[in-house]
Structure 1
């Protein structure tokens, strides 16, 4: 009994230390987001920390969030996709052009661009799986091709025209006071979380990303895991094009390039929180919102627009560095 009593304070301190370490490691980025919001709320109390502004941040980041979620599967299997932003650009000008210039109904046009995104994902998968082309090279090449098609289709101009009210309603209504783009992000996040965490396909994808040789020996289909990952990226890029087209009411072939860096920054930031060292859905949303909250605060303080790229780039570098640090620290403890 005395021995237990003697060890009890030390055990409690050890347990408390482990609890704090786990909390900081797993939820440090969440605390950073809350701290950032608190700082900007103090500096701009009348405009920043309001329900309208917080919803505006979440809405403005919805497309980035969808794209960051779209590449999670590719990152999980250990590959890269540099084409998703260009796919969004082509799909965006096409969904607007098909309705405004070719008189397609909005459901048909939406199905067509999602199918286009799926086809692009299959092309990436074919190049990587069957042709054994590096995913970096394959997706960069496809990105260039798709970007050229977007400029060719649009003539390098913003595509506009009369659009059905039902198409605008896809992103411009607010059920229960929450804008539709936020609902899309939540729904996609739940579906991907279920896929990655609770299905055999998700487990196989993580196994492929963790150790491809071991996964192959275990009988896991590498080609199937990679194909699923690239198809998810293409389909969600098509969905992002529909949502962004509905928000803007136009198709902008060159605007998609601005989504590449923020999407990757959000995904890599997400790998430092919730389940550190792993690309995960909820961490990605935290990372994306951190970017949006930071940029919104800086803009309200009067910083120049170019600060957004500076902030996003700095966050990506910090995310990659910190993710590597966490991996080394955890590896050293084993």
Structure 2
């Protein structure tokens, strides 16, 4: 009788490549989280008494809730393949309406909140109708709308800051806290969960992705492309208006330049978020992680004593890098599918 020897089969090159791709994909998903942890560790080591404190962490989480909600609104049309450059103008107009109607004329704050949200709906509708009916590039439409809204704000405010906003709004935004963190952080978290649910667990969310990646194919498949794009732009307007309400509640006032500095960080966070969790796609969890990653970097550099130029340089550089990385992630994803 002869003994038979059993040899362990060697992995094929194809299986090795598959394992390598899977490992790389998993790393890409969490790479931004790991980078965030590294940034926190570095600043905590350099400035342990001022950076890594409960107060500073609560400040970072709370103060950037406005940017979280604004960026979540931005990724709605981005997911559907459209840009919206009017979100900063919508935020500013919403905040200014709160300041004028409530702070100046003492109209009930919750009626004012509804009015501000309605303005967001109207702005989104106008953006969508001009894009769809006249076939104008959304970049041009929303750029013009943002400039138009900035002019309206200057007109109704006479270039003045309005204070005296109802303590009721201020309290539910920054006055009241849970676990030491202002409630506005949790509003951003709730918005993130809702957008995640829309994108990942609803048919409409999948349609948005289809429209954004293959618009002509989506149209031939029977998807109502125009309606999908319109809803995305209206959703962006509503969330931008909500961000404006939170902005007014955070500071207790409204000024004509409230949203001017928010547009660049929102785009930087949106594209950086598209490199994490679901690389190559605009997604809710990647967005909120990107916002706080960038906010942590700016906060840490400010604590180190660098000048006010840091924020512009940091966000501008982050936008360029984020767009490049998101494009690389999308191309790699397309190559793996094919």
Q: Please report how far the alpha carbon of residue 78 of structure 1 lies from its aligned counterpart in structure 2 after TM superposition.
A: 0.6
Q: Pick the aligned partner of 2:169 from 156, 164, 167.
A: 167
Stretches of structure 1 lacking an aligned partner (at least 5 in a row): none
**Pick aligned residue for 1:276 from 274, 279, 282:** 279
| Cα separation, partners in 2 of 1:330 and 1:223, compared to 1, 3 Å | closer
Q: Given the alignment, which residue of 286, 289, 292 partners 1:286?
A: 289
Distance 2:248 2:221 in 1: 44
User: Contact 1:80–1:136 at 8 Å: present in 2 too?
Assistant: yes
Report 1:247-266 matches (<5 A).
247-266=250-269
| 1:147 aligned residue | 150
Change (3 A) 1:4 1:105: farther
**Contact 2:62–2:181 (Cα < 8 Å) also in 1:** no
| 1:195/1:201 contact within 8 Å kept | yes
Output one character per residue of 1:97-153: Cα deviation in whole Å (capped at 9) or x when no partner: 101222210110000000011110111011111121110110011111111111111
2:180 aligned residue (156, 171, 177): 177
3-state DSSP class of the match of 1:5? coil
RMSD: 1.9
1:51/1:9 CA distance change after superposition, 3 Å: farther
Q: Which residue of 2 aligns with 1:95?
A: 98
CA distance in 1, matches of 2:297, 2:130: 38
Query: Does the CA contact (< 8 Å) of 1:89 and 1:253 recur in 2?
Result: yes
Structure-1 residue corresponding to 2:205:
202
Provide the residue aligned with 1:211 in structure 2: 214
Query: Do structure 1's residue 296 and structure 2's residue 327 form an aligned pair?
Result: no
Contact 1:77 1:206 in 2 (8 A): yes
Give, in whole Å, the separation in 1 of the partners of 2:335 and 2:194: 34
Alignment of 1:1-334 (within 5 A): 5-7=8-10, 17-161=20-164, 163-172=165-174, 173-333=176-336, 334=338
Which stretches of structure 1, 4 residues or longer, exceed 6 Å deviation after superposition? 8-16
Say which is worse superposed, 15-24 or 152-161, in terms of deviation: 15-24
Contact persistence 1:168–1:246 (CA under 8 A):
yes
Deviation at 1:87, TM superposition (A): 0.8
State the Cα distance separating 1:272 from its structure 2 match. 0.4
Q: Secondary structure at the match of 1:255?
A: coil
2: CA distance, partners of 1:50 / 1:176: 14
User: Structure 1 residues 15 and 211 mapped into 2: Cα distance closer, same or farther (>3 Å)?
Assistant: closer
CA distance in 1, matches of 2:33, 2:310: 22
TM-score normalized by the length of structure 1: 0.95
Does structure 2 retain, via aligned residues, the 8 Å contact 1:170–1:243? Answer: no
Gaps of 5+ in 2: none
- How far off is 1:2 after superposition? 6.2
Q: SS at 2:76's partner residue? A: helix
Q: Structure 1's 332 and 48: CA in aligned 2 closer, same or farther, altered over 3 A?
A: same
Conservation of the 8 A alpha-carbon contact between 2:130 and 2:136: yes
Conserved in 1, the CA contact under 8 Å of 2:91 and 2:258? Answer: no
**In structure 2, how many angstroms separate the alpha carbons of the residues matched to 1:166 and 1:311?**
35
